[in-house]
Structure 1
């Protein structure tokens, strides 16, 4: 069953990053002007907005590849978790429209669910960063660029 284990390990990581690579990254490339316009909702300067989009594109591509390949995957997942949290706060502020209680189709309610989806995705990346045990934080702090060896199969001795 080693091959099935490898496939499952890869698919779990692929599902986590699929939103970013290829979809969001391609959207930023193919619709750069629109992405910059959306970023201008958070920062007024067009140049700063373009820089944010380029930084986001870098994070989405490079960090997703790190998570997929296992190269510095814990650090890459940590950066993606922060990216998800920051985008939730900057672009999903459900508290701003003031129409949360106006019904299920209100802008605030739609943003509310998107906000929590971003935070849930951040939680998934933090599981890669720290693992599922309490000792994971210390292991990450001791060697933040180390790989979690996601595709290593440990054979038990008979």
Structure 2
């Protein structure tokens, strides 16, 4: 296996997965009043404390994931953050006509499901184990992932 297989491709994938979070944390700091108003719109108390914790999570966990320092714990924490944020702050179902072109709920609909897409990607970091080498994927781009070879389907019972 090459450096590309072992380091470059997994590192690039992790950076792509988490690159938006430090920028989101920065945006919350720069636009504190707007971020605090959004945090206060949810059902939880202490919005300023929650906002500071959110900024900390969005700043630290991507670094943990990218450099591989407690990356699974960081990915688990960030996945939880994304799931909770989706459920508490992107309640698209509360907006009438959320599918309409100008409906406010439409943006919340997409943010809700984008957050759960991130949850899925982050949970793959948590449970992922080893990566398929990039060269193997390049040679067989449409094959199943490396876990598929390890799963043995039970044999069907013989018919009498």
Instruction: Give yes or no for TM over 0.5.
Output: yes
Match of 1:39 in 2: 39
Q: Deviations over 1:134-158 (max 9, x none)?
A: xxxxxxxxxxxxxx688xxxxxxxx
Match of 1:12 in 2: 13
Q: Does 1:111 align with 2:108?
A: yes
- Deviation (angstroms), 1:109: 2.3
Name the SS for the 1:95 alignment partner.
helix
What is the number of equivalent residue pairs in this alignment? 130
Match of 1:155 in 2: none
Decide whether aligned partners of structure 1 residues 67 and 88 sit closer, same or farther in structure 2, where only a CA change above 3 A counts.
same
Name the SS for the 2:93 alignment partner.
coil
Q: Is the 8 A contact 1:77 1:128 kept in 2?
A: yes
What is the rounded CA distance, in whole Å, between the counterparts of 2:44 and 2:97 in structure 1? 24
Instruction: Extract unaligned runs of 5+ from structure 1.
Output: 132-147, 151-158
Q: Is the 8 A contact 1:81 1:121 kept in 2?
A: yes
Match of 1:127 in 2: 124
| TM, length-normalised to structure 2 | 0.74
Match of 1:80 in 2: 78
Match of 2:143 in 1: none
Match of 1:70 in 2: 68
Q: Is the 8 A contact 1:42 1:90 kept in 2?
A: yes
| TM, length-normalised to structure 1 | 0.75
- Deviation (angstroms), 1:91: 1.3
Match of 1:143 in 2: none
Root-mean-square deviation over aligned CA pairs: 1.9
Query: Which consecutive segments of 4 or more residues in structure 1 shift more than 3 A?
Result: none
What is the rounded CA distance, in whole Å, between the counterparts of 2:53 and 2:64 in structure 1? 16
What is the rounded CA distance, in whole Å, between the counterparts of 1:44 and 1:3 in structure 2? 46
What is the rounded CA distance, in whole Å, between the counterparts of 1:44 and 1:119 in structure 2? 20
Instruction: Extract unaligned runs of 5+ from structure 2.
Output: 132-160
Q: Deviations over 1:10-42 (max 9, x none)?
A: 110001111102x11111221222211211111
- Deviation (angstroms), 1:43: 4.7
- Deviation (angstroms), 1:114: 1.2
